[in-house]
A and B are shown apart, each in its own frame.
Chain A
């Protein structure tokens, strides 16, 4: 016998999380790339553990390094992703990542309009080596992508803090770190932000969780 349920989309609304990470040569120093690989793994596992029938995290992972940016995890449910292990090398073609993220968010087949607003997560320890200004401006000011929440981490003094302060949605979403240890802390902050949205009565309102204390980290 038919019921209302037969006409509904059976999956929760997607909550998109789009991550772009730096795998340039400088990420090799002080164990940053290793910390990033571990932090990403923890991040994905933490989100997999979150269960909600109102929102399902979907993730895409981009990276920039060598001579180009790549899409390493095409947009998919958090439960379907397999993480790469990054090696650090080459330059910092961050602008190419911005273009790829923009293309993804504008695509209503991949990210339908019933989705909650995406969160874009950016982590870098350097200055973009390609033309990033136009792609970044398009990403943050134009069209559908301008609605996304944008969180960033600047690792060390060589990161372009000025550029990142323009990138983020709100000053509280720019996290600065000094060491590899801070990368894991940052991804815990992102996890808390995403899970707060999943549990919130208003998932599309800005959520700024407190930064996790160092002593809550388990090394």
Chain B
């Protein structure tokens, strides 16, 4: 049975001076064989992290759309990190100025495989065939403390592979949102998003999500806030 993949996305800048841009970035790609969703959160302390965040998402999509679901995790991680570093160097940039976190979900449609990858604290939460599979977010010490691309340490994505049968839904959110979600209500939050937004006309979904985040979450912290939620329906 074939699935239709739907998604909503929104990103809003945090409460900060006007000359500091939104350093989050979202990229979604879909063709007949693959659906890729990736979210980056550029580090506020890095001068060009907005560009670093965008480059990370571009790298993830470029690489994943050429890979198959059998690619080794370490090899995949190395490809992404090396390509990202290469693109930064092509910009004549210093790696430390472009530091960013990044997470991704890649759905291989015909194989019914999901690859989830995370470098840093962009949260991933997955539900596959009705079973909630909280992707174990890399433990961070404190708010705004995270591993990242460009950290100067050995950077490796945490990657997990899942098979799915009839359905999945997932949430990817930067820490401006994920740090505020009650972990005990995460599954209920996914239910809320699906129930609410599947009934909203497609062209209004993202603006409605953005409006809700702005209204309810803008004052919670100063961080940029980005969220993607995706779900399947039977065709």
* Contact yes or no, B182 A9, CB < 8 A: yes
Min distance, Cβ A198 to any Cβ of chain B, angstroms: 11
Let me know if B213 is at the binding interface, CB within 8 A.
yes
Let me know if B220 is at the binding interface, CB within 8 A.
yes
3-37 of chain A: CB within 8 A of chain B:
3-9, 12-13
A113-B220 contact, Cβ under 8 Å, with A4-B213, A9-B182: no
Let me know if B154 is at the binding interface, CB within 8 A.
no
**B residues in contact with A12, CB < 8 Å:** 220
**B residues in contact with A54, CB < 8 Å:** 219-222
A7-B188 contact, Cβ under 8 Å, with A13-B221, A53-B219: yes
Let me know if B51 is at the binding interface, CB within 8 A.
no
Residue tally, chain A, CB below 8 Å to B: 25
**A residues in contact with B217, CB < 8 Å:** 4, 8
Let me know if A214 is at the binding interface, CB within 8 A.
no
Contact string against A for B residues 209-234, beta-carbon threshold 8 Å, 1 for contact and 0 otherwise: 00011001101111000000000000
Number of A-B contacts (CB under 8 A): 79
Let me know if A218 is at the binding interface, CB within 8 A.
no
Interface centre among A4, A12, A115, A203 (most CB of B within 10 A): A4
**Interface size, B (range):** 20 to 34
* Contact yes or no, B145 A114, CB < 8 A: no
**B residues in contact with A147, CB < 8 Å:** 141-142, 145
Let me know if B17 is at the binding interface, CB within 8 A.
yes
Let me know if B179 is at the binding interface, CB within 8 A.
yes
* Contact yes or no, A114 B179, CB < 8 A: yes
By a beta-carbon cutoff of 8 Å, the part of chain B in contact with chain A is 14-17, 20, 44-45, 139-145, 179-182, 185-186, 188-189, 192, 196, 212-213, 216-217, 219-222
